[in-house]
Amino acid sequence: MRRRSYSELRRLSTFEERFEYLSIGGEVGRATFGYDRWVNQNFYRSREWRHARDQVVVRDGACDLGIPGHDIHHRLLVHHMNPLLPEDLEQGEAWILDPEYLITTTHRTHNAIHYGDFSLIPRPPVERRPGDTRLW
């Protein structure tokens, strides 16, 4: 399995390119942790996670996918670029806290990455022109 990284992601300049790079195309309703949900919830409350999360948010300027101008004003998440599994937490894999494998996203972008739904990502406003009578 190819490991996605921030070093590779930052070479992509547009939001769409970064989204495509990160998209994992999962299915709505497919359990990732299932009955082991408590394992990752404990992790996300840990001091180590909060520290790593803060580093990533500062690095990305609190912008969606780290793209300047895509400021996040609410529902900010730090996303693991590579799917996190219960055994990764149990084995204490170092990459799960490494900013090289984390990126700042909105809740909406995060869901789009997981479910492969390009229609969920934010679109720039449509520029209006003289004589344009069509609604958006």
Report the candidate in 40, 53, 57, 21 with the shortest Cα–Cα distance to residue 93. Answer: 40
Identify the pLDDT of residue 32: 54
Segments making up each domain of the chain, as ranges: 6-27+35-120
Per-10-residue mean pLDDT of the chain, 136 residues long, equals 89 93 68 57 91 97 95 93 88 94 94 81 73 71
Identify the pLDDT of residue 30: 47
Identify the pLDDT of residue 129: 80
Identify the pLDDT of residue 24: 85
Taking CA atoms, 131 is separated from 25, 124, 134, 136, in Å, by 40, 21, 9, 14
